[in-house]
Amino acid sequence: METSIDIDNHRWTSRGFRRIKKGLYTTIFQAAVRYFRKPKMDALVRQLNALGYQPVFLPQTDYEPPELYNFSHQQRRLVRRGALSHYLPKGIKIPVADAVLADIKYQYTTSKKAAATASFLQNSLRCIGINALPKLDLKFAGSEDFSFAFTNVTCRRLDAAQIDHLVQKLELGAIPNDIVEAGRLHIAYEYAYATELLMSRGDHHAFSADISGKVGDYIDIGTEGSVTMSSKSTISFKGARGQRAAFAYKAGYLSREDEDSKWEFHPEEMNRSEGPSPYLPAAGVVLTVE
């Protein structure tokens, strides 16, 4: 009996796979179903990946690089092992520098789904240290397309070349050997931080209604931050003062041939079709640290 399935305007039938051996056919058919049903990447995640950053939700603020992580691709499990200095001999100086980054801008279309917009904004607010579920009433905007931008974006980083020398002195202590041997360790050598999120209409025109002085009637983020009208076309969200929330990091993975070999640090990985690209533990998703 022939079977078929329609996914995103594609018709998949068993007839097309009959030349493939039984078992292999099943694997490929199921993989195709998963591919077309998987959620599309968020605009913010795509933008950060393009800049070489892994988006991440951290449990607290004020983390600083370099830090050691282990990640399981199969379980999508990210574990923060802590500051790299904890795994180095005492007295080693790690020269970390501050820098200012360009604003990170991205576009989002609501498609008239208020719940989806609230979820999208909630995730964006977490990037500046606001974990509240926002209350939204966007009727005042007169649009379903919005543009977002992180401003006052800074970073703390260590030059990747300096990691090459530091890793030769690694003392991994009680980290399980299976994690080390599986190549699941990586070092975050740069964290990106932001203190403000701006939201405006996609066409950058003024909002249809003036809500100055009554923003809270339409958008409420609780007490973890503030929301104000910075202009007739822009709403500003700010995290709590004095807190710095990292929302993404750049990293390189660690490898060695055996216990007697030197560690190698890889801020890039090879792609057969595109050549070298920045190492991303999990492209296309935001990882949550345990």
Please report, to the nearest 10 degrees, the dihedral formed by the alpha carbons of residues 98, 100, 101, 104 taken in order: 110
Instruction: Provide the residue ranges of all domains of the chain, joining segments of one domain with +.
Output: 4-37, 43-288
Report the share of the chain in percent with pLDDT over 90: 32
pLDDT digits (tens, 9 = 90+) for 153-200: 999 999 988 999 999 999 988 888 888 878 789 999 999 998 899 988
Dist. CA 263–CA 260, nearest whole Å: 9
The pLDDT assigned to 15 comes to 60
65's tokens: 């690089």
Q: What's the DSSP call for residue 287?
A: E
Provide the CB-side half-sphere exposure for 279 (13 A, CA).
Answer: 21
pLDDT digits (tens, 9 = 90+) for 208-248: 998 988 898 888 888 888 999 989 999 999 988 777 788 89
Tell me which residue of 145, 124, 140 sits closest to 245, measured CA to CA: 124
* Banded pLDDT at 33 (limits 50, 70, 90): very low
The pLDDT assigned to 29 comes to 44
252's tokens: 């390189």
The pLDDT assigned to 10 comes to 52
> What are residue 76's phi and psi, to 5 degrees?
50, 45
CA distances from 1 to 14, 17, 116, 182 (A): 9, 13, 40, 43
pLDDT digits (tens, 9 = 90+) for 111-127: 556 666 777 788 788 88
Q: What's the DSSP call for residue 278?
A: E
* Banded pLDDT at 13 (limits 50, 70, 90): low
Query: How deeply is 132 buried, as exposed, middle or buried, from its count of CB atoms within 10 A (0-12, 13-18, 19+)?
Result: middle
The pLDDT assigned to 38 comes to 36
